[in-house]
Amino acid sequence: MFRKRKCIGVGKQMETSTGKAQNTSITLEVLRERVDNMEDAEVIEYQTQNNKIFVLIFIGTLIDKARLNEAVIEPLRLCNYENIAACISVSKITNISTLEEAEKKLMLGAILLFDTIENQWCSVDLKDPTGRGIETSETETILYGAKDSFSENLEQNISLIRRRLPLTALKSEKFTVGSLTKTKIVLMYIEGLTNPDFISIAREKIKSVDFDQILDSSQLAAFMEDHNHSVFPQFQHTDRPDVCAYALGVGKPTILVDNTPFALNAPINFFHLFQSPEDYINRWIVASFLRIRRYVSFMLSLLMIPLYVALTTHHYQMIPLQILFVLVETRSQLPLTPFWESLIMLVTLEVIKEASLRMPTKSGQTLGVIGGIVVGQAAVEAGFASQVLIVLVGISAIASFLVPNYLMTKATTLIQFVLLILASFLGVMGIFMGIILLFAHLNALTSLKQPYFTPISPFYGKDWLDLFIRGPLQWMKARPEALHPLQKWRYSRRR
Amino acid sequence: MLYFAIIMPVFLIYPYMIWMIIIVGILSQISIFMLSKWFNSMYASKGYEGFVELFGERMVRLIAFIGIGFIFLKVIVIILGYIEVVQHFIFPSVNTNWMLLFILLICWYVASLGMPNTIRFIVIAFLCTAWMLLLLLKIPFKPFTTIHDLFPLIPYEWTMKSWKGVLFIWSAFSGPEYLVLLAPWFNKREKILKYMTIGNTFTIFEYLFLFIASLFFFGSHYLGKNKLPVMEMIRYLQSPMFERIDIILISVYLFHFVFAISIFLLLFYGATRITLKKSKDQTTRLGFALCCAIFFICIMMSNELLWKKATNQNILLELEIWAGAFTYLFVPLLLFISLKRKGHS
């Protein structure tokens, strides 16, 4: 009686309708009908020197018009051959036989060419290459090292990786996902080095994506992640080709998405989120110091405010006497409890952070003044927050920016709020309960079915050389054990 | 055992018990040897089926039913013992039942992530807590310590209290017998004797160190008057950043308790399923949550009726000392003999 009607998405409906086209042969009338009401679609008829008539169908906004003239129209106009396709030698020509194929090619920037005498349809690839050029990375800036970054052009992104890894073993498999967007996805890996399990898992996951729009690599990652409800990213999003090349070199597959300047690397672990390309440029002692500093900053950004709440609410006895005097003096006039005081300040800080991201660059200074002077100083003078808390919030905010991964920074904020609540209820004990839950959660996470908290749990001792410190490159003779690469050693000459 | 490590010096008191820790530690190695024989047998990898092959289904169900009681007792003592420490040093006016609920909720979450993840959590627990022992390293070298605190090393008299101390040490070494239930999740069973021997040696040194440090700090006369001597000792540690770092250390120690209780929660769930003949059915989150709820109610009742009312002698603690010693003696022995008999037949 209440039988559920099976729903089909828009994309699926279109696919079903084009399903009819799968076996339908192409006719000029049908194609004219298909491009009807498309302002940028053009259907042009030309006559060759030997009086042959040919028809061109293309979408003007998708093709390179300059090349259309020089590579197709001119050669065809001067063509003396019987076969029209033989005249066009500058571009890639493919014969097509079905309507579906014709539509797909047309919408991906090819021109359809109809030989009226031979009754043959073919497509000429003339995709408009215009787009953003190779620019400097804005999300992962480094002082030294390569400056180039990915753009929205998939082919260009592949070439940036191939330039760094000129190997025939560097394979790239192409997929199309998104019933509406038909987004091209490329899975890259080094054959004979990357663990085949990772490749097959990634392949299966990409194939299983069933959604109408995949416009960004983050959307693809959301469908491929093992744990959707976690705050932690399970793929490394990077717009740096050198990071991808390194990931491929240690035995990870890389996924590139068309029209997205961010590639996905997996499997990753929690500690990858604290690594920066600069780690491998600096001297190892300096790089290790920088990396430890990042971990310490992460802990500071996470724990400083909850600890303030815990100490001032539950454990005054833990505060050394001299500091206690300062604290009592600054807090004596405040109407709010430490928890509410901290919560309000943290929320305000988050609002300022978010505003600084959305505001135009020129307004940044104004925001700095408002955030720093008005909110900071005025809050203290108005008696809403203690000076000690303002200092701690400032340190905590600055410390959070040291984590190189932006997605991780956002996750840190959320965890900080949870720890704050636990600290207000159970003091230091509550903070450690939160940390236990956090570690247990991380311990259970996986990235491409591989443990997320490795090399700590499961324990891989040799991988610790590139964990909290960045050991000398000469000592890192083996690829990370946790990735189970097919070639363990990084050196090629026999030792 | 976690809680026993904290209260051990109260039960030993006399310096000559140092030798007992070493002797019982060596005896513990025999149990470990017998357990390793089980791990190396083909039955270990089969888990429940392995026990059924060895003892028969009815017997396994009976053992599982008895095991539930032992697991209950162990968890009750370690969790209530820890909460008592928290109440004594951190939150004197806290309602212990709330603390019990919070800790069990965390354990429920950890355990609900599955046995492999829960087992792996020990690495995190170890790394997060191992440094704590280093803080106590300087106590034997403090200016107030004298070598005379370690005398007499030879007993003048051997009383019932001394025997109880030996029993306590043996019980404190217990715990590895529960590892036989986790055998299917271990992937390197061939080297288990080596790993367990390292663990046993580490435990001997840990107990020796804590006892000797307590003797130096309190002296044997005053040691018996303390309820939680190790914690009292930690209370005197100083740091330039914080006073009362014992609050931090007690909170960090929770890592181990969460790990142990989570494992025991899963074992309890497994034992209940075997007892109720449901071992072949799929495990469910609801079933596990129900087991945790039963666990909470039972521990809360034990807390209200027995633990809180205990003054001089805590019946639950006494029972656990005997129960721990019993299981550590008979479980390895039973498995060893059964294996031998099966081998001969």
The model's pLDDT over A406-416, given as tens digits with 9 standing for 90+, comes to: 888 888 889 99
User: What are the backbone angles phi and psi of residue B134, rounded to the nearest 5°?
Assistant: -65, -30
Optimal mutation site among A308, A432, A437, A468, interface B, most CBs of chain B within 10 A? A432
Q: Is residue A284 part of a domain?
A: no
For residue A19, what pLDDT band results from cuts at 50, 70 and 90? very low
CB B213 within 8 A of CB B6: no
Q: Environment class of residue A18 by beta-carbon count within 10 Å: exposed (0-12), middle (13-18) or buried (19+)?
A: middle
Same domain membership, residue A322 and residue A429: yes
Residues of A in contact with B247 (CB under 8 A): 315, 318, 427-429
Same domain membership, residue A200 and residue A308: no
Question: What tens digit of pLDDT does each residue of B255-273 get?
Answer: 999 999 999 999 999 999 9
| Helix (H) / strand (E) containing B53 | helix B48-55
Residues of B in contact with A451 (CB under 8 A): 120
Same domain membership, residue A384 and residue A311: yes
Q: Is residue A463 part of a domain?
A: no
For residue A331, what pLDDT band results from cuts at 50, 70 and 90? confident
Per-residue pLDDT at A6 exceeds 60: no
Count CB-CB contacts under 10 A for residue A68: 21
CB < 8 Å from A in window 85-114 of B: 86, 90-91, 102-103, 106, 109-110, 113-114
Q: Is residue A455 part of a domain?
A: no
Same domain membership, residue A394 and residue A347: yes
Per-residue pLDDT at A45 exceeds 70: yes
Q: Give the number of C-alpha atoms closer than 13 A to the C-alpha of residue A218, restricted to the C-beta side.
A: 5
What is the dihedral angle through the alpha carbons of B48, B53, B59, B64, rounded to the nearest 10 degrees?
-10
Q: Is residue A5 part of a domain?
A: no
Q: Which of A325-334, B141-150, B260-269, B296-305 has the lowest mean pLDDT?
A: B141-150
Predicted local confidence at residue B197, as pLDDT: 94
Per-residue pLDDT at B90 exceeds 80: yes
Predicted local confidence at residue A143, as pLDDT: 82
Mean of the per-residue pLDDT values for chain B? 89
Q: Is residue A442 part of a domain?
A: yes
Cα–Cα distances (Å) from A413 to A407, A430, A438, A468, in that order, read 10, 17, 13, 22
Residues of B in contact with A444 (CB under 8 A): 113-114, 117
For residue A4, what pLDDT band results from cuts at 50, 70 and 90? very low
Enumerate domains of chain B plus CATH numbers.
Answer: 2-344 (1.20.1740)
For residue A364, what pLDDT band results from cuts at 50, 70 and 90? low
CA distance A437 to A421: 14
Query: If you average pLDDT over residues A143-153, what whole number do you get?
Result: 86
Q: Tell me how far the alpha carbon of residue A118 is from its chain's centroid.
A: 48
Predicted local confidence at residue A442, as pLDDT: 95
Q: Is residue A378 part of a domain?
A: yes
If one compares A125 and A25, the residue with the highest pLDDT of the two is A125
Question: What tens digit of pLDDT does each residue of A389-402 get?
Answer: 888 988 998 888 88
CA distance B91 to B76: 20
Dihedral sign of CA atoms A237, B116, B106, B176 in order? negative
Residues of B in contact with A446 (CB under 8 A): none
Q: Which of A207, A236, A268 is the last residue of a domain?
A: A268
> Residue B306 carries which DSSP code?
I
Count CB-CB contacts under 10 A for residue A89: 9
If one compares A67 and A341, the residue with the highest pLDDT of the two is A341
Q: What is the 3-state secondary structure (H, E, C) of chain A?
A: CCCCCCCCCHHHHHHHHHHHHHHCECCHHHHHHHCCCCCCEEEEEEECCCCCEEEEEEECCCECHHHHHHHHHHHHHCCCCCCHHHHCCCCCEEEECEHHHHHHHHHCCEEEEEECCCCEEEEEECECCCCCCCCECCCCCCCCCCCECCCCCHHHHHHHHHHHCCCCCEEEEEEEECCCCCEEEEEEEECCCCCHHHHHHHHHHHHCCCCCCCCCHHHHHHHHCCCCCCCCCCCEEECCHHHHHHHHHHCCCEEEECCCCCEEECCCCHHHHHCCHHHHCCCHHHHHHHHHHHHHHHHHHHHHHHHHHHHHHCCHHHCCHHHHHHHHHHHCCCCCCHHHHHHHHHHHHHHHHHHHHHCCHHHHHHHHHHHHHHHHHHHHHHCCCCHHHHHHHHHHHHHHCCCCCHHHHHHHHHHHHHHHHHHHHHHHHHHHHHHHHHHHHHHHCEECCEECCCCCCCCCHHHHHHCCCCCCHHHCCECCHHHCCCCCECCCCCC
For residue B238, what pLDDT band results from cuts at 50, 70 and 90? confident
CA-based nearest distance B170→chain A, Å: 30
At A257, the amino acid letter reads: V
Residues of B in contact with A443 (CB under 8 A): 113, 117, 120-121, 124
Q: How many domains does chain A have?
A: 3
Predicted local confidence at residue B126, as pLDDT: 92
Paired tokens of B242: 């914080």
Percent of chain A with pLDDT over 70: 91
Same domain membership, residue A117 and residue A20: yes
Predicted local confidence at residue B297, as pLDDT: 94
Query: If you average pLDDT over residues A209-226, what whole number do you get?
Result: 90
Predicted local confidence at residue A301, as pLDDT: 92
Same domain membership, residue A444 and residue A301: yes
CB A450 within 8 A of CB A265: no
Same domain membership, residue A294 and residue A440: yes
Predicted local confidence at residue A271, as pLDDT: 92
Instruction: Verify whether the Cβ–Cβ distance A319 to B243 is below 8 Å.
Output: yes
Q: Is residue A490 part of a domain?
A: no
Q: Which of A356-360, A410-414, B55-59 has the lowest mean pLDDT?
A: A356-360
Residue of chain B whose alpha carbon sits nearest to that of A446:
B117
Same domain membership, residue A121 and residue A19: yes
Q: Which of A214, A237, A268 is the last residue of a domain?
A: A268
Same domain membership, residue A102 and residue A52: yes
ipTM over 0.90: yes
CA distance A307 to A430: 10
For residue B344, what pLDDT band results from cuts at 50, 70 and 90? low
What is the dihedral angle through the alpha carbons of B14, B16, B22, B27, rounded to the nearest 10 degrees?
-90
Q: Which of A74-83, A192-201, A302-311, B278-287 has the lowest mean pLDDT?
A: A74-83
CB B299 within 8 A of CB B78: no
CA-based nearest distance A352→chain B, Å: 31
CA-based nearest distance A204→chain B, Å: 25
Per-residue pLDDT at A18 exceeds 50: no
Query: If you average pLDDT over residues A274-293, what whole number do you get?
Result: 90
Q: Is residue A275 part of a domain?
A: no
Instruction: Verify whether the Cβ–Cβ distance A320 to B110 is below 8 Å.
Output: no
Same domain membership, residue A412 and residue A358: yes
Per-residue pLDDT at A190 exceeds 70: yes
Per-residue pLDDT at B30 exceeds 60: yes
Q: Which of A55-69, A152-166, B98-112, B326-340 has the lowest mean pLDDT?
A: A55-69
Range of the domain at A185: 154-268
What is the dihedral angle through the alpha carbons of B287, B288, B290, B291, rounded to the nearest 10 degrees?
120
Same domain membership, residue A301 and residue A264: no
Same domain membership, residue A231 and residue A93: no
What is the dihedral angle through the alpha carbons of A419, A421, A426, A432, rounded to the nearest 10 degrees?
-10
Instruction: Verify whether the Cβ–Cβ distance B109 to A440 is below 8 Å.
Output: yes
pTM given for the model: 0.87
CA distance A413 to B258: 25
Predicted local confidence at residue B87, as pLDDT: 92
For residue B309, what pLDDT band results from cuts at 50, 70 and 90? confident
Query: If you average pLDDT over residues B154-162, what whole number do you get?
Result: 83
Query: If you average pLDDT over residues A449-453, what whole number do you get?
Result: 93
